[in-house]
Each structure stands twice: as C-alpha cells, then as structure tokens.
Amino acid sequence: MIKKIFIKSVICAGIISSALALTGCGDSKDDMSLVAAKSDSPDIAFLYIGTVGDEGWTYEHNRGRLYLEEKLGKKVDFVENVPENADAERIISQLAQDHDIIFATSFGHMDYILNSSKRFPKVKFLHAAGYKSSTNMGNYFGKNWEASYLTGIAAGSVSKTNKIGYLASFPIPQLVYNINAFTLGARSVNEDIEVNVIWNNSWYDPANERSAAISMADEGMDVLVSYPDSPATIKVAQERGIWGVGNSTSMAHYAPDAYITNPVWNWGVYYEKVVEEIKAGTWEGGSYLGGLKDGMVDLAEFGKNVPEPVKALVNKEKKRIISGEFNIFSGPIKDRDGLERVGSGEKISDEDVLTMNWFVEGVKGSLSN
C-alpha cells in the first residue's frame, strides 16, 4: 500500500517537474527571441481572419506579406482563418514564442493582441484597423477615404441618371466615412448626384449582394458601388450595361466593360517600413495612419471604358491630395439635414473621421445607430 502511494507520488512529481521544465524551456526560448529581435533578421508572422484566396481583405494583406518576404529575403509565416475569439489568443501565444514581430490583420483580434503584448513584452505586435496600443503594440490603418473620394469623382463624372447605388456592409464609421468621401467626390463634379445607400449587414453573401444590386439597377441607378468585396455587384453592372465600382482589390476582370475603379490597399510599403524601423530600434509603438501619400492606399487601374478626361481629372485631384494641398474633408460640409458640420476653412481631423456617424448632403438611406 505504502509502496503504491510512493510510486504514485514519484510519478506525479515526475510529471510536475517535467511540466515545469517545459514551461522553463518556453521562458528561455522567450529570452532567445529577445536576442533574435535585435538581430538583423527578425522572425515575422501574420494572422489572417480569412484565407489568402479571398480576393479581398486577406488577399491584400497576403500580397503585403509576399512583398515583405521578397524585400527581406526570408520566409514570413502566416496563419489563416484565425477566429475573432479566445482561440486567437492561443494562436498568438504560440506564435509569440518563436517570432519577433506579429501582425494581426482583423479588427476583432485587437483585445487578444493587447493581452498577448503584455505577456510577451519582447515581441512587437502590430494590429490593423483597431485603436488600442501599448508600448510593444502598435496599430495601423489607411485613409482609404482619400481613394473613395477619387472614385466618387470618376463615378459622378460618368453617371447619366445622377443616381448612384452604394451597397454597404454594416453601419459603422468605416462605411460612413467612405460613403461620405465618395459622395463628396461625386458631388464635386456634379451637384445633382444622389448616393443611395443599401445596407445588407454582411461582409460576404454574394447571393444577397446580387439581389441588392438588381434592386438598385431596377431603380435607374447607373453606377453600382459595392463595399463587400465579392464581385457579385459589379457583375450585375456588367450585365445591365451600367457602371460598377468594387473594393479592396482591382476587379476589372470581372466586369471589363462596366468597371470604373476603386480604392485598393497596398500594405507592403508599410510592412517594409515598420520592419525596418523595428530593426533599427527606432519604432515606438502608437498609431500609424497611411494614405495616398505613402502609397498604403491607392486607386486601382481604370476600367477600359472610363473616358480620358475623367482619368485626367482624377489624377489631378490625386496629386493635390498627395501634395497636401487639398484635404477631402475640408469645409464647408453640410450634413444631410442641412446642418453645417464643418465651417469654411476648417477641416475634419483624422480622429474625427475615424468615428464619423453622420451622412453628408446627397446621401440617401437609413443610418440608425
């Protein structure tokens, strides 16, 4: 009996000590990564919400990762389909043990990244589209509203019926400021333009998007914009012989005759820059907001049917934005109830853009929040 207990306790002790040894290993490995972080070739990993073939958000981040691989000349790891729940934190912790820099590319990963950044102080964390940061966690995003404004100019120039349909995902600031920027752009060339917003409350549902697009085309709208990045909407535009605008990535091949252009992401330039900063030891966390100027946000190539004068006008405005001569949210701007939100000579700060919750004059559709 005593012997039995003795054997049991020996086994228990064995298990516990080996477990301790294992965690000890983990710790020392962590210290190793501290050393590695200062070396010239950091180990980097990316977390994706979707798959690299989604032709949209994750596809674009993956393009950035591939660019980084090319520039660094070494493999950059990635994990696909990372859910926005506690599982993310488990995955991040695993990656943090043998990587020096971790990029998380979805809004919903924010709190898990923040927690991990406290647990792994030697690792640098970067998070897209969020707003929280710490000493070793930074966030980054781009002013895609600048490209939305330019897209609006092109759309407003080609519309004959003066009615544009905008299929939007969720009533959140990201959608609101893009719709506003697009509308300001369209009305800068044609004051009669009205932008009709339809919410479909989904990031991805092609069948539903197609129904929405058909409804908009039936109402005589001759430019269809889709924020959800499936090609369902611009395909309807192609079928009906009207104009189409996509999102995130160039979509000309889906609708060669109908395609105008749309904002695209170019994360690679930022990824290279931030990795260089971390290597040089000059990176300090905080927020980074890119735009047309540094190339993080850009405009896709124009569709083949967009008239030359329109292209020229858009390119001219693009130069003005890049040079800093023109801010797209400079007053006077009225909201759609006629209230002047931005006075003449004023402009909206980037922080206020990122929390925008009102529509400019010319937007039709519900905004209940």
Partner 1 sequence: MEIFSMDIMQLLIIASISAATPLLLATLGGILSERAGIINLGIEGMMLIGAVCAYIVSIYTDSEWLAIIFSLLGGSALGALLAFLCITLRSNQIVAGLGITLFATGLSSYLGKSFGGSQPQTQIPNLDIPWLDNIPFFGEIFSHLNWMVWISFFIAIVLYVAIFKTRWGLHLRALGDGPAAADNAGVNVYRYQYLMTIIGAALCGLAGATLILVYTPSWNDGLTSGRGWIAVALVIFSRWHPINAIFCAILFGLFETLGFKVQLYYADIPPYFLKMMPYLTTIVVLMWVGWRNKNKPNGQPISLGKTYIREQRG
Binding site for partner 1 (CB under 8 A): 50-55, 59, 81, 196-202, 204-212, 214-220, 230-232, 235, 240, 253-254, 364-366, 368
Give the nearer residue to partner 1 in terms of CB position, either 256 or 332: 256
Give the nearer residue to partner 1 in terms of CB position, either 33 or 230: 230
Distance CA 114, CA 34 (A): 19
Cβ 229 to partner 1, closest distance in Å?
9
Give the nearer residue to partner 1 in terms of CB position, either 228 or 290: 228
Report phi then psi at 266, rounded to 5. -140, 70
Distance CA 164, CA 225 (A): 8
Give the nearer residue to partner 1 in terms of CB position, either 209 or 317: 209
Distance CA 334, CA 185 (A): 14
Cβ 118 to partner 1, closest distance in Å?
32
Contact 189, 156 (CB under 8 A): yes
Give the nearer residue to partner 1 in terms of CB position, either 59 or 270: 59
Residue whose tokens read 């979509």: 251
Nearest to 174 by CA among 369, 34, 331: 369
Q: How far is CA 221 from the centre of its chain?
A: 27
298-327 as b/e: b if 16+ CB within 10 A = bbbebbeebeeebeebbeebbeebeeeeee
Give the nearer residue to partner 1 in terms of CB position, either 123 or 245: 245
Query: E-assigned strands of the chain?
Result: 44-47, 77-79, 101-104, 124-128, 137-142, 163-168, 194-199, 223-226, 243-245, 263-265, 286-290, 297-299, 333-334, 340-342, 363-364
